[in-house]
Amino acid sequence: SLTNAKFSNSAAIPTSKLGGLATSATTDTTNATNITSGSLATARVNVGTTAGKILQVDGSGNLPAIDGSLLTGIVSFTKSASDPAIDTNPSAGVGAEWVNTTSGEVYLCTDATAGANVWTNVGAGSGDIAPIPPTGNYGYIAAGSTVSPWSSDTVHRYPFASDANSSDWADLERRTVQGGHSSATDYGYIMKGNDNTTSPTWIAYVQKFSFASGGTGTNVGNSTENAQNYGMAGTGDIPGGYGYALGGYSTAGEHGGNNWESETIERYAYASDGNASDHGNLKYAAYTNAGSFSSTHGYSIGGGNYYNTYFAQQPFSNLGWQDCITKFAFSSNSLGTDVGNIGTASTYVDATQNASYAWRMGGADQPGKTNRIERIPFSSDGNSTDVADLTVARSNAACASSGTNGYYAGGEISWPNFSTNLDKFNFSSQGNSTDVADATHRGHGTGGHQSGS
């Protein structure tokens, strides 16, 4: 038998004397119990950070740098000093998480539609981020003043998908001119106004009509002021589900019972029919002003303020024509603030909006009508920027927004000369509007709406 004594520590065994090794070698896996700590040299281990390699920690126990994109199953989130936007378009799609490191708000993307993301607040705060609704399939021209009769109950609609004339769609319960107008997802609303069928009769109704079925609208509530009210401006489907009417011409006892402009902001709920409630005041009383809105604030643009001019409360020029932009919060019942100016002092001005801007259109300047299209930013306070022109200078028309394009239907060129132009302009290119169809229901003091479906 072989013993240790038979081997010489200094003598090498020639490989020629070791026969059969080539045939007896196997590829069997080495039994792990036969490898003890320190018995396998590091140099013999195939280490690295590429495919098929074994990762090796350094002297401090740290793993080497590896390509993070190769890791799977890791749930991440975005950290930012600001909130996400409707056009963030997260690569993770629905379920993407966003943390605002400034406010501590946390959001989840619940709708990843490109350019129309919805971010739901899931933290301790409140307030979701969603497209300015509604942006649907049709624009509407509601009620208004014609030569005879002096007021109308007719509602027309026109498609956003194709450039086509407006057609008869519905009727209001009561003839109305220059009422405050707003749009929910399924209904259009007109609040207050003037029924001039035979003689001026100011009304305090909240009327609504269906976008889906047309027919005759219904009176679903009343305003907070005296029945003789004249509210022109209105905003739309605000997160939280309210429409707003801004200012107007009132005989509700304001300013000692005289017939003067109102600074009252009223709102009414879309979820259930009922009366309007007070929601604070504008910075300045106004009527024939335009209303617009972001996801968090409402805006009153231009308008008339004769009382404050006559009694020297505010130094407005041109006998009451205003150029101010007033902003108020939806979250609190508080006084609005003056945040900027439009390019010209104007009454009977109109406005619409997309996700980033309010768009002032037309109006009655001194000495005549204007064709201006101006852009007002939501992201910061400041003056408007003149970016384009309407096809015809006019005022008191029906505005609508498809989200991509703005529309300006009808309007007064000069009494009783009403335009039939249905102007369309693109929010992105910001070129001059084009006349794409006819507003077959024409007049002034009409309400502009857009459906949410």
pLDDT digit string, tens, across residues 363-386: 998 778 999 999 999 988 999 999
Task: Give residue-wise pLDDT tens across range 118-148.
Answer: 888 887 666 666 666 556 789 999 988 877 6
What is the sign of the dihedral through the CA atoms of 353, 359, 361 and 367? Answer: positive
Predicted pLDDT of residue 175: 87
Burial (CB count <10 Å: 0-12, 13-18, 19+), residue 104: exposed
The confidence band for 317, taking pLDDT boundaries of 50, 70 and 90, is low
Most trustworthy range by pLDDT among 46-60, 227-241, 433-447: 433-447
Q: What angle do CA 225, 229, 233 make, to 5 degrees?
A: 100
Task: Give residue-wise pLDDT tens across range 80-105.
Answer: 998 888 888 999 999 999 999 888 88
Judged against a pLDDT cut of 90, whether residue 231 lies above it is answered with no
| Range scoring the smallest mean pLDDT among 165-179, 180-194, 245-259 | 245-259
131 Cβ contact list (under 8 Å, min separation 6)? 86, 116, 117, 118, 355, 403
Measured from the Cβ of residue 233, the count of other Cβ atoms closer than 10 Å reads 32
Q: Is the pTM of this model over 0.75?
A: no
Taking the chain, what is the end-to-end CA distance rounded to the nearest angstrom? 96
Is residue 378 within 8 A of residue 321, CB to CB? The reply is: no
Predicted pLDDT of residue 27: 47
445 Cβ contact list (under 8 Å, min separation 6)? 143, 144, 145, 177, 178, 194, 232, 396
Residue with tokens 């040299």, as numbered in its chain: 41
The confidence band for 236, taking pLDDT boundaries of 50, 70 and 90, is very low
| Alpha carbon distances (Å) from 442 to 91, 367, 409 | 46, 23, 8
Is residue 232 within 8 A of residue 178, CB to CB? The reply is: yes
Q: Which residue has the higher pLDDT, 452 or 236?
A: 452
Q: What angle do CA 116, 406, 133 make, to 5 degrees?
A: 35
Question: Mean pLDDT throughout 300-324?
Answer: 69
Predicted pLDDT of residue 233: 41
Is residue 384 within 8 A of residue 340, CB to CB? The reply is: yes
- What letter represents residue 129's amino acid? I
Predicted pLDDT of residue 227: 39
Quick one: what percent of the chain has pLDDT higher than 70?
76
Is residue 243 within 8 A of residue 189, CB to CB? The reply is: yes
Residue with tokens 């979820």, as numbered in its chain: 271
Is residue 369 within 8 A of residue 414, CB to CB? The reply is: yes
Could you tell me which of 152, 224, 246, 201 has the C-alpha nearest to residue 443? 152
Predicted pLDDT of residue 377: 93
Question: Mean pLDDT throughout 426-440?
Answer: 95
Residue with tokens 């090498």, as numbered in its chain: 12
Question: Mean pLDDT throughout 29-33?
Answer: 59
Judged against a pLDDT cut of 70, whether residue 17 lies above it is answered with no
Tokens representing residue 410 in the block: 């009808």
Cα dihedral value 375, 406, 366, 325, nearest 10: -40
Is residue 223 within 8 A of residue 276, CB to CB? The reply is: yes
In Å, the largest CA–CA distance within the chain is 133
Could you tell me which of 241, 215, 156, 198 has the C-alpha nearest to residue 438? 156
Rounded mean pLDDT of the chain?
81
Is residue 276 within 8 A of residue 269, CB to CB? The reply is: no
The confidence band for 360, taking pLDDT boundaries of 50, 70 and 90, is very high
β-strand pairing of 405-409 with 412-414:
unpaired
Listed in order, strand segments (DSSP E) in 25-162 are: 78-80, 97-100, 106-111, 118-121, 138-144, 152-159
The confidence band for 200, taking pLDDT boundaries of 50, 70 and 90, is low
DSSP 8-class letter at 230: E
Helix (H, G, I), strand (E, B) or coil at 5: helix
What is the sign of the dihedral through the CA atoms of 328, 253, 191 and 365? Answer: negative
Is residue 143 within 8 A of residue 153, CB to CB? The reply is: yes
Judged against a pLDDT cut of 60, whether residue 50 lies above it is answered with yes
Is residue 270 within 8 A of residue 295, CB to CB? The reply is: no
188 strand-pairing partners: 183, 209
Residue with tokens 């400034």, as numbered in its chain: 102
What is the sign of the dihedral through the CA atoms of 198, 199, 204 and 209? Answer: positive
| Range scoring the smallest mean pLDDT among 59-73, 213-227, 259-273 | 59-73
Predicted pLDDT of residue 109: 93
161: left (phi over 0), alpha (psi -120 to 50) or beta: alpha
β-strand pairing of 357-361 with 350-353:
antiparallel
Q: Locate all alpha helices (DSSP H) within 221-284, ordered by sequence.
A: none
Distance CA 168, CA 329 (A): 36
Distance CA 285, CA 259 (A): 12
105 Cβ contact list (under 8 Å, min separation 6)? 83, 99, 121, 123, 125, 127
